Each structure stands twice: as structure tokens, then as C-alpha cells.
Amino acid sequence: MKLILIFLLSFLISNCKSTSNPVDIDINLGEEFNLNYGQTANFKDKSLSIKFESIEDSRCPIGAVCVWEGNARIIIGVNEVDFSLNSKIEPKEIQSLGYLIKLISVYPYPNIDNPIKLKDYTITLIVTEGVSSF
């Protein structure tokens, strides 16, 4: 019986999908899209990929009294080269490989009573060809 239980547990563990390798999503240029923490966007018919690498969130939480509204600083990997974007201060957009990549928003917004786990963060971006038109 113990041998069957050990076999069953090892089978289940070996077949579990890891959340550290998120599924890639296909995106079209000019469309807003969301990326979850750790997720990668691949652009159709382009040799461009963007990965949500990390976040430093210093935005003033709901329920707190702050002197400054704060900022969410994200790091994205564009074809494996890291860039920093911000929610409130510059740069909010970057140019790379002939594309303009702009941060639209960062969710969820901090709440003093509910700390945010990294896996719960989502960013909204838009990517266009060429120079800034925003």
C-alpha cells in the first residue's frame, strides 16, 4: 500500500505544471494587451517578444496617508534586453528595435490591508512601430 501511495504522489508531482513557465501570448501591434508577472508576449509576424520581469511598487496604498502618490517601476525584457518603465514618472515609454513600448497601467492597486503577491500583478502595455505618437 505504501509503495502505491509513493508511486501515486511521485506521478502527481512530476505531472504538475509549474507556474514559473507561463504560457506565451500572441499579440498584434497597436493593440493594448495585459501581461501577468513572468509572462511573455510574442508579436505575430515580428521578431519581438516582451516579458514582464519584475516590479517595484511604491504607490501609496488605499487606506494610507502619503506625502507622494508613489510609483510602480516595472522591468520588461525586450528580446532579452531589460528596460525600466514607470507608472507615474518618466520614462513611461521606451523605444527599442524600431518599436515604441508604452506602459498604460499596473494592477492591482496597493491596499494597506491586502499585500500584493508578485504573481498577482498585471501590466497593460501597447506597442507600435516607430516614434512616439502618444
Residue 6 located in a structural domain: no
In angstroms, the CA 29 to CA 41 distance is: 11
Contact assessment for residue 76 and residue 83, using Cβ atoms and an 8 Å cutoff: yes
Residue 14 located in a structural domain: no
Contact assessment for residue 130 and residue 98, using Cβ atoms and an 8 Å cutoff: yes
Domain of residue 112: give its range: 23-129
State the Rg of the chain over Cα.
19
Residue 75 located in a structural domain: yes
Q: How many domains does the chain have?
A: 1
pTM of the model: 0.78
**pLDDT tens across the length of the chain (134 residues):** 443 334 333 433 333 333 444 456 777 889 999 999 999 998 876 788 999 999 999 999 999 999 999 999 999 999 989 999 999 999 999 999 999 999 999 999 999 999 999 999 999 999 999 765 54
Q: Which amino acid is at 45?
A: D
| Strand partners of residue 9 | none
